[in-house]
Amino acid sequence: MRMRRWGVLVALLAATALAAEEPTGAKELFAGGLDRTVVGPTGSTPSPPRPDQKVRKKTPAPPPFGLSCWIELVESPGAAGSKVVHTRLFKSGEKIRLHFQGNANGYISLIQFGASGTASVLFPDIARGLGNNAIRAGADHVLPSAKHWFRFDATPGTERLLVLFAKTPEELDKFIREQSLDLQSTAAMLQLADRVSGSKDLVTEIVDDEAAYAVNRVGDLVVMNLALVHQ
């Protein structure tokens, strides 16, 4: 009985140590993902299966699928851009670009919500020649583009943006089917996005108030919410 108790205690300690080593923050998951490699005892050799034994191959879980974002600001015409925190109070007329990086190849969409409850797609914008929304893993992808900017208008308020990052364009089509969304389409899209945002598999984090991270632990769609206040 005493040996059995010690065995249970050792198993609990081992499980606790393993859980402590697993990355839990979105930045950690984005950078490396969970290490799913199982290492056996040193020098051990697994026994070969019997001829009549069926070997079940386990399908490896997909790695975490994630996106990071930081904001580049130009305060005056001709000035060089600078990195700013997400909580900065922006001014009307200022221009920004959003820098995104994925930890895997994917496709991105950026949606803006209006005061009336409707929404519009800021990116991709085919009418302006900004239709390529593919992102290569590890590359800096600038929205709307390296030559275009988003400008804050003259109406103070909070600009609410929804970022969707998917492995295929078809996944994004479930959310967005037109450039401008009416009340009904906006509500349907938000319902789908809220379902993903509320999932325990989606992990979000803002590091040093600058870079935002959103990672889906099981490799599914990523949803990132941005709120930019301007006065």
Largest CA distance in the chain: 78
Mean pLDDT of 146-174: 90
pLDDT in tens, 67-122: 999 999 987 666 778 999 998 999 988 999 999 999 999 999 999 998 888 999 99
pLDDT at 142 over 90: yes
pLDDT at 217 over 70: yes
C-alpha span between 60 and 6 (Å, rounded)? 32
pLDDT at 4 over 70: no
pLDDT at 202 over 90: yes
pLDDT at 54: 66
Helical ranges in 91-146 per DSSP H: none
| DSSP H or E run through 192 | helix 183-197
Joined together, the tokens standing for residue 67 give 């996106």
pTM exceeds 0.75 for this model: yes
C-alpha span between 102 and 167 (Å, rounded)? 10
